[in-house]
Amino acid sequence: MASQLRDQLRGVFGFPITPLHPDLSLNLAALEKNVDEMTQHPYCAIVAAGGTGEIYSLTPEEAEQVVATAVRATRRRMPVVAGVGYNAVIGADMARRMERAGADALLVMPPYYINPPEAGWIDYYRAIANSTGLPLALYSRDWAAFSPDQVARLAEAVPSLQIWKDGQGNIRMFQRIMAKLGDRLAWVGGLGDDCAGGYWSIGVQAYTSSISNVSHKIPLAIASAGQQQDFSRLNQILLDYVHPLYALRDKLRGYEVAVMKEMMELMGITAGPPRPPLCAVRQEHRSELARLAELYRAF
């Protein structure tokens, strides 16, 4: 079963945002509509309540609602990967909730503590793994950075660890980790659409796309070019469509989510505002974002 899931995860993960009402409550009706539209396209999976889905602003109860809604909306067209994290106790509780909500796998975020010993890392992931029968995807981002030998020890200690989602962007280290573990894990590029060229060049089998919220053709075209090793085509898509958007996202911390939500609204897709500590797109950046929305419509 786990190996079947690993083999299935080839291409693009859709990464739906979590729509909110103006009062910052969940807009589950909008989420269901957005996920239904997204999963009519050939993504290999979606991630509900992940980083783009503002997992850290959700309560465990809300995250369970988000995942249950996403599972219902996919109509089993593709696997749903659900975000969990915080600490071992809450992460284990969330894992049980996500399994109950119908998720197919778990995306485990780094724990709250930024400098644990290796044994602590293993205990954290093992506690979440032991609480559920679902396979795990480890999200290596921020302080969750590992050497190839450490990844090998993690994989040995946590048999249900099946997917490695890179969020470091260190292509040299990621390639060494892939070489060390081989086909033990599914390798996913997870830092951003703008890093897709580097990820495909070292042989990932999939990458995660927040642009999937505003365009289906662009991330799927990136993955197609990457799978065919057509880097001339891939890099042209990045230059024309991805880098301008990511340059805007770099203008303010937290814009990774806020810009995508604002752009969705400009394109007639309900998204709502982000929750604090994220903030809405500033007025001086909205005209630039509107131009990008027109560019995306024309793709």
Catalytic (active site) residue 139: yes
142-155 b/e (C-beta count within 10 Å ≥ 16 → b): eebebebeebebbb
Alpha-carbon gap, residue 163 to 138, rounded angstroms: 6
Cβ neighbours for 9, distance < 8 A, ≥ 6 positions apart: 44, 45, 79, 163, 186, 188, 205, 206
Are the beta carbons of 128 and 84 closer than 8 angstroms?
yes
Q: Residues 43, 165, 199, 207: which is the catalytic one? A: 165
**Crossing angle for the helix pair 60-74 and 28-38, to the nearest 10 degrees:** 40
Structure token digits, residue 287: 């005209």
Kindly report the number of other CB atoms within 10 A of residue 247's CB atom: 12
- Which SS3 state, helix, strand or coil, does residue 27 take? coil
Among 130, 132, 77, 73, which residue's Cα sits nearest to residue 99?
132
Q: Catalytic one among 124, 139, 199, 207?
A: 139
Instruction: Please list the residues that pair with 12 across neighbouring strands.
Output: 207
Nearest to 71 by CA among 111, 100, 107, 108: 100
Kindly tell me the burial class for residue 70, based on how many C-beta atoms sit within 10 Å of its own C-beta (0-12, 13-18, 19 or more). Answer: buried
Query: Which residues are paired to 138 by β-bridges?
Result: 108, 164
Query: Which positions are catalytic?
Result: 139, 165
